[in-house]
């Protein structure tokens, strides 16, 4: 195992944050990058990363790594250090209010300018050209703030990977994941291994999350550089490891094993993988994911649990008005699994209370949570 330490732009004299990247394997072969808790308060990811570190050390000692695995055991040291009046705030950068997993680099145009006219008929050679250009474009990303520096360092670390798994957790949630629509088969396979209850697909979420920074350039370049053959050479997914409070040694071990089996199926780890479990869901469009919002301010009382199947008309929650005592129902419009709920029970008007993996809505615009 090689440990790389990346010092981030300092926020003030005497203040130092750094990223740690653990590299397992020789650096050759297919490359996977797994990072934990870019939203720094989604701590089950940090726990899974610790199990992965131990398992990867063992696999490396056994000579079982055919490729290379980069593990970023805590992807957001800035967010890990953010506390306000006793509450840990790891989703947004307190310096500017920006979400740590939105607004990541979109490198397709810069790469296109570098490779246009140099593409040939050999898909593998085209992948190598595009990958080299991605590394160059990522290396040239500017940063003026510690938050921007963090984002570009993470992209620079992962950009030339064959597989990128960004580990998160939701407020209260069943296991679910997000990936690109054209990679539905791989997303379904990863979902089956993890026991995911929802696999949400989009060609663009509209928010430039980290997974799309790594995978989406390939999709855009495949279209822009046609007819030159260019496979989608990076599979990336945001994996939501249930709810933020779901820290369990047993679940962490189970989840780490599922992620390693996915790497084994992709040839990063030696050996014959066990049979794929029966998937617990079919992938559904992210545009069909129904956000359930609070109609008024009040106390949230849930009637449906995470993982419950709901249908149009299912009462998911009440919001209780604390002046009149009136109950305001929050009802599903879609059929599907209630895959996430808010982790808190006080609602302001419009607060996101839950998400249903439906198929009937066709939302447009920005499809992810704020
Ligand atoms: Zn997150």
Ligand 1 center to 126 CA (angstroms): 33
pLDDT confidence bin for 61, thresholds 50/70/90: very high
Ligand 1 center to 40 CA (angstroms): 8
Q: Same domain, yes or no, for 249 and 297?
A: no
Domain boundary among 253, 282, 311: 282
Ligand 1 center to 55 CA (angstroms): 24
Ligand 1 center to 54 CA (angstroms): 24
Ligand 1 center to 92 CA (angstroms): 10
Please state, rounded to an integer, the average pLDDT across all residues of the chain.
97
pLDDT in tens, 176-232: 999 999 999 999 999 999 999 999 999 999 999 999 999 999 999 999 999 999 999
Q: Same domain, yes or no, for 260 and 296?
A: no
pLDDT in tens, 247-277: 999 999 999 999 999 999 999 999 999 999 9
Ligand 1 center to 102 CA (angstroms): 10
How many Cβ atoms are within 10 Å of 163's Cβ, its own excluded?
26
Taking alpha carbons only, the member of 238, 254, 258 closest to residue 246 is 254
Ligand 1 center to 240 CA (angstroms): 7
Residue 313 belongs to domain spanning:
285-357
Output the pLDDT for position 274. 93
Output the pLDDT for position 125. 98
Q: Same domain, yes or no, for 86 and 226?
A: yes
Q: What is the average per-residue pLDDT within 49-63?
A: 98
Output the pLDDT for position 369. 87
Q: Is the pLDDT of residue 143 over 90?
A: yes
Domain boundary among 248, 282, 316: 282
Edge-to-edge order in the sheet of strand 346-347: 327-331, 315-320, 298-302, 346-347
Return the H-helix or E-strand segment holding 256: helix 249-265
Ligand 1 center to 365 CA (angstroms): 19
Ligand 1 center to 348 CA (angstroms): 21
Residue with tokens 């701590």: 43
Output the pLDDT for position 116. 95
Q: Same domain, yes or no, for 221 and 347?
A: no
Contact criterion met (CB below 8 Å) for 68 and 28: yes
Output the pLDDT for position 323. 98
Whole-structure pTM value: 0.98
Q: Is the pLDDT of residue 37 over 90?
A: yes
Q: What is the average per-residue pLDDT within 108-116?
A: 98
What CATH number corresponds to the domain at position 49?
3.40.630.10
Domain boundary among 282, 308, 337: 282
Ligand 1 center to 89 CA (angstroms): 12
Q: Is the pLDDT of residue 9 over 90?
A: yes
């Amino acid at each position: 195992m090689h440990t790389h330490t990346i010092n981030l732009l300092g926020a003030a004299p005497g203040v130092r944050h750094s990223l740690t990247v653990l590299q397992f394997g020789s650096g050759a072969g297919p490359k996977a990058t797994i990072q934990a808790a870019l939203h720094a308060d989604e701590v089950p990811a940090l726990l899974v990363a610790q199990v992965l570190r131990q398992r990867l050390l063992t696999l490396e000692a056994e000579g079982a790594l055919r490729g290379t695995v980069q593990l970023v055991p805590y992807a957001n040291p800035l967010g890990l250090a953010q506390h306000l009046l006793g509450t840990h705030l790891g989703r947004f950068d307190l310096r500017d209010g920006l979400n740590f997993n939105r607004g990541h680099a979109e490198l397709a145009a810069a790469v296109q300018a570098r490779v246009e006219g140099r593409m040939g008929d050999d898909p593998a050679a085209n992948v190598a050209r595009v990958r080299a250009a991605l590394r160059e474009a990522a290396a040239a990303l500017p940063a003026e703030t510690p938050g921007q520096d963090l984002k570009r360092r993470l992209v620079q670390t992962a950009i030339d990977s064959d597989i990128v798994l960004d580990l998160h957790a939701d407020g209260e949630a069943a296991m679910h994941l997000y990936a690109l629509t054209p990679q539905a088969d791989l997303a379904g396979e990863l979902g089956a291994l993890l026991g995911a209850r929802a696999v949400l697909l989009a060609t663009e979420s509209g928010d430039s999350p980290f997974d799309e920074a790594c995978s989406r350039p390939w999709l855009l370049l495949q279209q822009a550089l046609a007819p030159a053959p260019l496979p989608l050479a990076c599979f990336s997914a945001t994996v939501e490891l249930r709810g933020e409070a779901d820290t369990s040694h047993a679940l962490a071990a189970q989840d780490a094993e599922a992620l390693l089996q996915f790497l084994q199926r992709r040839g990063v780890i030696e050996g014959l993988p066990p049979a794929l479990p029966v998937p617990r869901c079919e992938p559904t469009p992210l545009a069909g994911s129904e956000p359930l919002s609070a109609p008024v301010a009040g106390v949230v009382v849930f009637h449906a649990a995470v993982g419950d199947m709901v249908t149009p008309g299912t009462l998911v929650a009440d919001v209780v008005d604390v002046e009149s005592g009136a109950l305001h129902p929050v009802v599903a419009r879609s059929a599907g699994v209630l895959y996430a709920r808010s982790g808190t029970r006080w609602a302001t008007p419009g607060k996101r209370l839950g998400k249903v993996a439906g198929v009937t809505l066709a939302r447009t615009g920005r499809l992810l949570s704020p």
